[in-house]
Amino acid sequence: MRKRYENLDRVENNHSFKALSQWRKERRAKVKNLTIQIPQAENKEIEALQLNRDKASITWIGHSTFLIQLDGLNILTDPVWAKWQGTDKRLTNPGIAIEELPEIDMVVISHGHYDHLDFGSIRRLKGNPTYYVPHGLRGLFVKRGYHKTVEANWWDSFANQNLKITFVPAQHWTRRSLFDTNSSHWGGWIIEEASSGKTIYFVGDTGYFRGFKEIAKRFHSINYVLMPIGAYEPEWFMKTSHINPEDAAKAFRELNASTFIPMHYGAYRLADDTGPEALDRLYKEWEHLKLNKEQLRVLDIGGTLWMDAE
């Protein structure tokens, strides 16, 4: 019998067929302008990223996919270049073509949903990366020939050169077929560089939950938080598993982190909100809370933040 994973406090994401039908009915009644999209960066630094082996950088490729360069290593989060999610076509092109990536050393996966784990994209990666995945997913990787795959439960840590990576809780769920619901785990990844003390928290996919406070207790100096802000509408349906922009700002404050980089918006229509709507709500909440504007770093698709210049 397969193990089934749970959220903290056994919070469940169970919706009845009636609730699903109600959401679909609401969606048909809504009119959304999908012609306005998140912009691509004007000056993409692709060649610099390809050659870089000593500077620290974060590049948003789109959705939950980032290229992180740290300690001379090229790291990808949830690498997805897929043009489709089900019957919905991707709304914005990836910020960097997969062929333009440097050789990848590490890949971290937050969970098994198709918009976060796409083997079609993984097959096209350059290099021979080590894959760090939630517990329950290693078999899918080994089956496809990826034997350099490490499974993690919450709070497990691993070393790679001078980096320490830790799998931390999130509030979500997962499924890749009709019969494997929650048979693998989900979470976020915290990447720490020993020499510089730089710490990056890739949140993954999550609803707002008390786990942010627990993470703050264990990690006292988080520099960069890659935080989801989209796929929250209708909130009565999505709230358990997808954080809205206001709660994302609240979580950032609880983490006592330095810099907020939003993600998980604008690439796919996974819910009824749009990318520009999510970003607008985040800006308004930032102003409402009177947070330091310099702490919010919104990247265009394909945009790069050089950490050493901060």
Residue 216 belongs to a domain: yes
* Segment 117-165, tens digit of pLDDT: 999 999 999 999 999 999 999 999 999 999 999 999 999 999 999 999 9
Backbone angles phi, psi at 27, to 5 degrees: -60, -40
Please spell the DSSP secondary structure of 254-308, one letter per residue.
HHT-SEEEEES-SS--SSS--HHHHHHHHHHHHHHTT--GGGB-PPPBT-EEEGG
* Predicted local distance difference test score (pLDDT) of residue 1: 67
The residue among 217 and 16 whose pLDDT is bigger is: 217
Best CA proximity match to 169, nearest among 17, 6, 299: 6
Place of tokens 């933040």: 305
Spatial separation of the C-alpha atoms in residues 183 and 46, rounded to whole Å: 38
Domain of residue 269 covers 56-309
290 — pLDDT class (breaks 50, 70, 90): very high
Residue 16 belongs to a domain: no
Residue 146 belongs to a domain: yes
CATH number of the domain within which 237 lies = 3.60.15.10
Q: How big, in percent rounded to 5, are the helix, strand and coil portions of the chain?
A: 25, 20, 55
* Sign of the dihedral through C-alpha 210, 296, 166, 103: positive
* Cβ atoms 126, 103 nearer than 8 A: yes
Residue 223 belongs to a domain: yes
Place of tokens 């969606």: 27
Assess whether pLDDT exceeds 90 at residue 176. Answer: yes
The tokens describing 301, both together, are 């698709």
Residue 257 belongs to a domain: yes
Best CA proximity match to 114, nearest among 74, 189, 63: 63
| Packing angle of the helix pair 245-255, 211-218 (nearest 10 deg) | 30
pTM to 2 decimal places? 0.97
Q: Please list the alpha-helical segments (H only) found in the chain.
A: 17-29, 46-51, 119-122, 138-143, 211-218, 235-238, 245-255, 275-288
The tokens describing 180, both together, are 């494997």
* Cβ atoms 92, 126 nearer than 8 A: no
Residue 96 belongs to a domain: yes
Spatial separation of the C-alpha atoms in residues 297 and 261, rounded to whole Å: 5
Assess whether pLDDT exceeds 90 at residue 17. Answer: no
Spatial separation of the C-alpha atoms in residues 155 and 166, rounded to whole Å: 6
Residue 178 belongs to a domain: yes
The tokens describing 33, both together, are 């302008």
Residue 24 belongs to a domain: no
Assess whether pLDDT exceeds 80 at residue 310. Answer: no
214 — pLDDT class (breaks 50, 70, 90): very high
The tally of domains found in the chain comes to 1
* Segment 18-75, tens digit of pLDDT: 888 898 888 887 888 888 999 999 999 999 999 999 999 999 999 999 999 999 999 9
